[in-house]
Amino acid sequence: MPSKARRSSAATALLRAEKIGTRVRRIAPSEKMPKTDMAYLSCPTSIVNAPVQIVWALLTRPDEWGDFYDVRVASVEPPGPAAVGQTVFAESGPRLLRLALEFRFTKIDPVNHELGLDVKFPFGITVREDLSCVPIGQDQCRVNYHCGFGLPAGWRGMVARLLMRRELNSGPVDSLSRLRRAAEERYARQLA
């Protein structure tokens, strides 16, 4: 049973999330990810004015993610288009303070345009990412981005949550905005 302090913290996070339009709930960490004491879910959704095939192409070419996401891709093992088990090693943050990131594809469903990734951040922070692209029309789709953050147990998790509280929502929203912008620009170039 959670302590009163945790319930209060969770309730506060939920109220903050409702103000910015993001759903938040406690989740269980993925079996493949390290066990965590604290979890946080951010689920932004966006309408993209481009065909689902363009968005899917951007998502399944991890060596090109640096062109629109806020990451510098160091390597993709094995190289090539996205495949289950493929690992993307990348860096993020200012040039002076490069933070290592590791993305591992756990699900790729090209028929339903769904991806699953397990992500490792520094300081024991993990993220389970599930993305789906749903066609709305011939030249429009909706992208659903579910990020389940796992924070380390104990005081490290509390410190990480305190330091990253804004990033837990703004990071996924920014990534989705960058993906939308890249897809719409690519589609506009095709139409021109």
What is the rounded CA–CA span in Å between residue 26 and residue 10? 8
| pLDDT reported for residue 116 | 97
Q: What is the pLDDT of residue 71?
A: 93
Retrieve residue 189's tokens. Answer: 């170039």
Q: How far apart are CA 12 and CA 148, in angstroms?
A: 18
Q: Vertex 107, ends 102 and 111: CA angle to 5°?
A: 135
What's the whole-model pTM score? 0.77
What is the tens place of the pLDDT at every residue in 41-75?
A: 899 999 999 999 999 999 999 999 999 998 999 99
Domain ranges, ordered by start, for the chain:
4-191
Element (H, E) at 132: strand 126-137
Longest dimension (CA), the chain: 59
CATH of domain 4-191: 3.30.530.20
Nearest to residue 146, comparing CAs of 73, 47, 7, 40? 40
Checking if the pLDDT of 21 tops 70, the result is no
Residues 88/106, Cβ–Cβ less than 8 Å = no
Are residues 74 and 87 in contact, defined by beta-carbon separation less than 8 angstroms?
no
- How far apart are the C-alpha atoms of 138 and 110, rounded to whole Å? 17
pLDDT confidence tier of residue 9, bands split at 50, 70 and 90: very low
What percentage of the chain reaches a pLDDT higher than 70?
Answer: 80
pLDDT of residue 37: 55
For the stretch 140-155, pLDDT in tens is: 999 999 999 998 888 8
Instruction: Name 102's bridge partners.
Output: 89, 120
Other Cβ atoms less than 10 A from the Cβ of 101: the count is: 20
DSSP-assigned letter for residue 95: T
Distance CA 132, CA 144 (A): 5
